[in-house]
Amino acid sequence: GAVAQAGWLELLGARGVLREIDALGVQVRLDTVEPGGHFWPRRITALWDILLRHESKAEIWITHTGHANAGAHDRAQIRAFLETMDAPVQRFYWYSAQDRDESEATGLFDLRGAPRLLARMLAEGGPVRLRELLALSQRGRSHNGKGVALITGGAGFIGTNLAARLLGEGRNVRILDNLCRPGTETNLRWLANQFGERIEFRLADVRDRLALRDAVADATEVFHLAAQVAVTSSLVDPLHDFDINGRGTLNLLEELRRLDKPPPLLFTSTNKVYGGLDDLPLVVNDTRYELADPDLRRRGIDESRPIAFCSPYGCSKGASDQYVLDFARTFHLPAAVLRMSCIYGPHQFGTEDQGWVAHFARQALARQPIVIYGDGRQVRDILFVEDLVDALLLARDHIDGLRGHAFNMGGGPRNTVSLRELLAELGRMHNRPPEVRYENWRASDQRYYVSDVARFQAATGWAPRTSVTEGLERMHEWLLAQRPSPAVPERGRVAL
Ligand SMILES: NC(=O)c1ccc[n+]([C@@H]2O[C@H](COP(=O)([O-])OP(=O)(O)OC[C@H]3O[C@@H](n4cnc5c(N)ncnc54)[C@H](O)[C@@H]3O)[C@@H](O)[C@H]2O)c1
C-alpha cells in the first residue's frame, strides 16, 4: 500500500507511477482522529481526484482501520464501522476480528472471545441492524421543559417495564444502556414503537462518566438498574463484574453529587448481600426447604440480618448498595436501596445464568430440557415485575422518608416457590412435565430466601398484588407473543 499523502501522490502521478499500480492503500485508526464523522469522504475524495487526474486505474483500499473499545465505547466503534462501510473505496480491512492483548481493544470480539455489541448486531441483523440502532440512539432529545426520568439499564427486563409504566403515565424517559444483554434491543424497539418520541435512548456505558454526567444533568429522578447481573459471569471475570457494578455505581453517585439539587436515586440491590444464610436451620420435605423457625418462616428475612457478601457479584452489588447508603448519609443524596429477591415477568430474556423463572418458562414452552443445579428444593419469594414497578415508583414518591435506607423487596412469604414446584406448575400449564436434568450445586446458592417486606410496606403502603399463578400466566402470554412467525430471511445478514 502507498502512503496516502497528497504531495507524494502528486509526485508519483507526475512520474507516471500511478498508472502502473493496482491499488492504493490507506490506513488510519478512527479512534485517533477528531470525532464527528465524515472522515473518509474528505480524505478519500481527495485521493480519487489525484488518481483521476493522472489517469490511474488503481483501486483505493483501506488496508487497516478500526476503533478501540475497551468496553465503554460501543457507539463510537459502531459509528466508525458504518462510516468505513460507506467510504468510497473498493475494500477495507477492519482491525481486528479478536483482541490480541488488553491494550489493543479494537476487536469485534474481546480477549475472552465475547462479541462486542458491533459483532453481535452484525451477526443478528447485519449493517441494517447497526443503522437502526444508531437511529434509535438519536431519538427524542427534547422534553419540552417537562423533565425526564433516567433509567440506567433501562432496556433490560425491569427497566423496560418501568419505562413503559412511566411513559404510559405521560412522562419522558431517558434510557442509558449499552445493550450488552441479548434481547435488550428487542425491548428498546418495542418501547420506541409503543411510545414514540418521548423515549430517549443513549447507547452508553455506566463506566463512561461523561456520558453519565450528561444523562443526569436534567433528570428529575434516577433509577440505577444497569449491572452485570449474573453470579456465574462474576465468577469467570470478577474484574469486569466490579468495573460495571462497583465503579459504574460510584461514577453515577459522583455525578449526582456534583449537582446543586440531586434528584431521587433508587438503586436495585439484591438479596445476595445477605450471603448463603447457612446458619439458619432448615427442614426439608418432598419439594422444598423450609425454615425450621416458624416465626421467621411466617415473616421472612428482614433488614436486620447482617450483610455477608458472597460471590464476586454479591460483593460488587453489596459494595454499591453500601456506597448508595453512604452517599445518602455523607453527601445527603436523596437515595434509597431495594434489596430484591427474584423478579419475573414480560420482557425478561432469562437465561440459565440469570432470570431462572423466565428461563424455565421459555424452555418448557420450547420443549427444551431444563438443568437444575442442586436438588431443586431451593425456595425463593418471586415477585411479578409490575409489583416491583409499583414499589420503585412509591420509593421515589416517599424518598424523603426512605433516604439512606435499604429495604428487602420480593413476593414475601405468600409468594414463595421452589424450583421443583415451579416445574410442576409449568407442567400443569403445558399438560406435560418439562424435561429436567440435575447437576451439582452452584457456588453460593442460597437454599432458602424469602423477603420480609414489612418495613417497606409500613413506609409506603405497598403490597404485592399478583399471585404466582397469575404472574406466570402473564409471562406465558408474553412468551407466546414472542414466538417467531415462520422465518423470513433478514436482508443484509452477514456471517461472522
Ligand atoms: N431480575 C432479578 O430477579 C433481580 C434480582 C435482584 C436484583 N436485580 C437487579 O436489578 C437490576 C436490573 O435487573 P434485570 O433483571 O432487569 O437485568 P437485565 O440484564 O435485564 O438488565 C440490566 C441492563 O443493564 C444493561 N447494562 C449492563 N451493563 C451495562 C453497562 N456497563 N452500562 C450500561 N448498561 C449496562 C444491560 O444491557 C441490561 O439492559 C440489576 O441491577 C440487577 O442486579 C435483579
487 has pLDDT over 60: no
- Segment 480-490 shows an average pLDDT of 65
User: Are the C-beta atoms of residues 164 and 149 closer than 8 Å to each other?
Assistant: no
339 has pLDDT over 80: yes
Q: Are residues 236 and 110 in the same domain?
A: no
Would 63 be classed as within a structural domain? yes
* Mutation pick for ligand 1 pocket among 120, 133, 158 (CB with most ligand atoms within 8 Å): 158
Would 181 be classed as within a structural domain? no
Can you give the CATH number for the domain in which 40 is found?
A: 3.20.20.80
Output the pLDDT for position 492: 39
pLDDT tens digits along 193-234:
999 889 999 999 999 999 999 999 999 999 999 999 999 999
**Angle of CA points 171, 174, 180, to nearest 5°:** 140
Return the C-alpha cell found at 479.
Answer: 412468551
Query: Which are the contacts of 348, defined by CB distance < 8 A and separation ≥ 6?
Result: 157, 355, 357, 358, 385, 475
Output the pLDDT for position 490: 44
Indicate which atom in ligand 1 lies nearest the CA of residue 187.
Answer: 39
* Mutation pick for ligand 1 pocket among 69, 110, 224, 229 (CB with most ligand atoms within 8 Å): 229
More confident residue, 182 or 71: 182
d(CA 360, CA 363): 5
Output the pLDDT for position 495: 35
- Atom 39, ligand 1: which residue's CA is nearest? 156
Output the pLDDT for position 5: 74
Across the strands, what pairs with 202? 176
Residue 96 phi/psi, 5-degree rounding, is -145, 180
DSSP assignment string, 383-421: EEHHHHHHHHHHHHHTHHHHTT-EEEESS-GGGEEEHHH
Q: How many angstroms separate the alpha carbon of residue 172 from the centre of ligand 1?
A: 21
Query: Which are the contacts of 371, defined by CB distance < 8 A and separation ≥ 6?
Result: 352, 436, 437, 438, 439
Handedness of CA 162, 163, 168, 169 (dihedral sign): positive
Q: Which of 65, 90, 122 is the last residue of a domain?
A: 122
Indicate which atom in ligand 1 lies nearest the CA of residue 71.
Answer: 31
- Atom 7, ligand 1: which residue's CA is nearest? 270
pLDDT tens digits along 359-397:
999 999 999 999 999 999 999 999 999 999 999 999 999
Indicate which atom in ligand 1 lies nearest the CA of residue 206.
Answer: 32
Half-sphere exposure of 410 (CA within 13 A, CB side): 28
486 has pLDDT over 60: no
Among 102, 104, 101, which Cα is nearest to 66's?
104
Would 148 be classed as within a structural domain? no
State the amino acid at position 338 in one-letter form: L
Q: Are residues 328 and 444 in the same domain?
A: yes
pLDDT tens digits along 170-187:
999 999 999 999 999 999
Q: Are residues 115 and 232 in the same domain?
A: no
Indicate which atom in ligand 1 lies nearest the CA of residue 229.
Answer: 43
Catalytic residue among 95, 274, 289, 313: 313
- Atom 12, ligand 1: which residue's CA is nearest? 225
Would 189 be classed as within a structural domain? no
Would 153 be classed as within a structural domain? no
More confident residue, 149 or 490: 149
Q: Which of 97, 122, 147 is the last residue of a domain?
A: 122
37 has pLDDT over 70: no
Query: Which are the contacts of 320, defined by CB distance < 8 A and separation ≥ 6?
Result: 245, 246, 249, 250, 267, 269
Classify residue 465 as exposed, middle or buried by CB count within 10 Å of its CB (0-12, 13-18, 19+): exposed
- Atom 1, ligand 1: which residue's CA is nearest? 343
Output the pLDDT for position 3: 46
Q: Are residues 118 and 235 in the same domain?
A: no
State the amino acid at position 14 in one-letter form: A
CA–CA distances in Å: residue 18 to residues 12, 26, 48, 288: 6, 15, 12, 79
Can you give the CATH number for the domain in which 380 is found?
A: 3.40.50.720
Q: Are residues 449 and 335 in the same domain?
A: yes
State the amino acid at position 300 in one-letter form: G
- Atom 35, ligand 1: which residue's CA is nearest? 226
Q: Which of 61, 91, 122 is the last residue of a domain?
A: 122
Q: Which domain holds residue 477?
A: 227-482
- Atom 20, ligand 1: which residue's CA is nearest? 156
- Number of folded domains in the chain? 2
Residues with CB under 6 A from ligand 1: 153, 155-159, 177-181, 184, 205-207, 225-229, 244, 248, 268, 270, 317, 340, 342-343, 355
- Atom 34, ligand 1: which residue's CA is nearest? 177
Q: How many angstroms separate the alpha carbon of residue 268 from the centre of ligand 1?
A: 9
Please report where in the chains the cell 443524596 appears, as a residue: 333
Q: Are residues 116 and 254 in the same domain?
A: no
d(CA 179, CA 78): 13
Return the C-alpha cell found at 387.
Answer: 409489583
d(CA 328, CA 94): 46
Known catalytic membership, residue 313: yes
pLDDT tens digits along 286-334:
999 999 999 999 999 999 999 999 999 999 999 999 999 999 999 999 9
Q: How many angstroms separate the alpha carbon of residue 226 from the centre of ligand 1?
A: 5
Classify residue 346 as exposed, middle or buried by CB count within 10 Å of its CB (0-12, 13-18, 19+): buried
436 has pLDDT over 50: yes
Q: How many angstroms separate the alpha carbon of residue 156 from the centre of ligand 1?
A: 6
Q: How many angstroms separate the alpha carbon of residue 486 from the centre of ligand 1?
A: 31
User: Are the C-beta atoms of residues 99 and 151 closer than 8 Å to each other?
Assistant: no
Q: Are residues 109 and 246 in the same domain?
A: no
**Residue 200: other Cβ atoms inside 10 A:** 23
Which of 99-113, 158-172, 315-329, 399-413 is predicted with the least confidence, judged by mean pLDDT? Answer: 99-113
User: Are the C-beta atoms of residues 282 and 432 closer than 8 Å to each other?
Assistant: no
- Segment 449-454 shows an average pLDDT of 98
Indicate which atom in ligand 1 lies nearest the CA of residue 159.
Answer: 16
pLDDT tens digits along 114-156:
999 999 999 999 999 999 999 988 766 666 667 899 999 999 9
Indicate which atom in ligand 1 lies nearest the CA of residue 342.
Answer: 3
Would 209 be classed as within a structural domain? no
7 has pLDDT over 90: no
Would 168 be classed as within a structural domain? no
DSSP assignment string, 15-43: TTGGGG-SEEEEEEEGGGS-SSS-HHHHH
Would 1 be classed as within a structural domain? no
Please report where in the chains the cell 489525484 appears, as a residue: 50
491 has pLDDT over 70: no
d(CA 192, CA 154): 12
